[in-house]
């Protein structure tokens, strides 16, 4: 989800149901003073097309701990240095395999 649909992954389902969203940018629609527009149409999860994230009742999203682990992985990968730690190595292996599978499915 984070790799394929980053705009959806970071969006809170309850906020999406409440406020109008530009589905192209993933940003909430605002007026000139920055105030959000209330939603007056159905959200993607309420339509037959569906939302890549699923539904508010059963979202396909990372837990807070998994989001932090993925963020740490990306930071370490960006600078090319991972701490010499068993937990970091284990998490890096899991994340790298998930990234490879996701990228391979969407080539």
User: What is the chain's pLDDT, residue by residue, as a tens digit (107 residues)?
Assistant: 788 888 888 888 999 999 999 887 888 999 999 999 999 999 999 998 889 889 999 988 888 898 899 999 999 999 999 999 999 999 999 999 988 888 887 76
28: which strand partners? 21
Distant-in-sequence, close-in-space partners of 21: CB < 8 Å, separation ≥ 6? 11, 27, 28, 29, 39, 43
Name the residue ranges covered by the structural domains of the chain: 1-60, 64-105
User: How many Cβ atoms from other residues are within 10 Å of residue 16's Cβ?
Assistant: 20
**What angle, rounded to 10 degrees, do the helices at 64-79 and 86-105 form?**
90
């Amino acid at each position: 989800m984070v790799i394929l649909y980053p705009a959806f992954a970071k969006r809170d389902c309850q906020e999406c149901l409440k406020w109008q969203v530009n589905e192209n940018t993933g940003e909430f629609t605002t007026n000139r003073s920055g105030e959000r527009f209330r939603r007056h149409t159905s959200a993607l999860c309420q339509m037959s097309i569906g939302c890549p994230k699923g539904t508010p009742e059963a979202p396909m999203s990372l837990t807070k701990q998994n989001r932090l682990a993925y963020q740490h992985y990306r930071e370490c990968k960006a600078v090319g240095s991972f701490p010499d730690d068993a937990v970091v190595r284990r998490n890096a292996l899991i994340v790298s395999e998930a990234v490879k599978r996701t990228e391979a499915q969407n080539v």
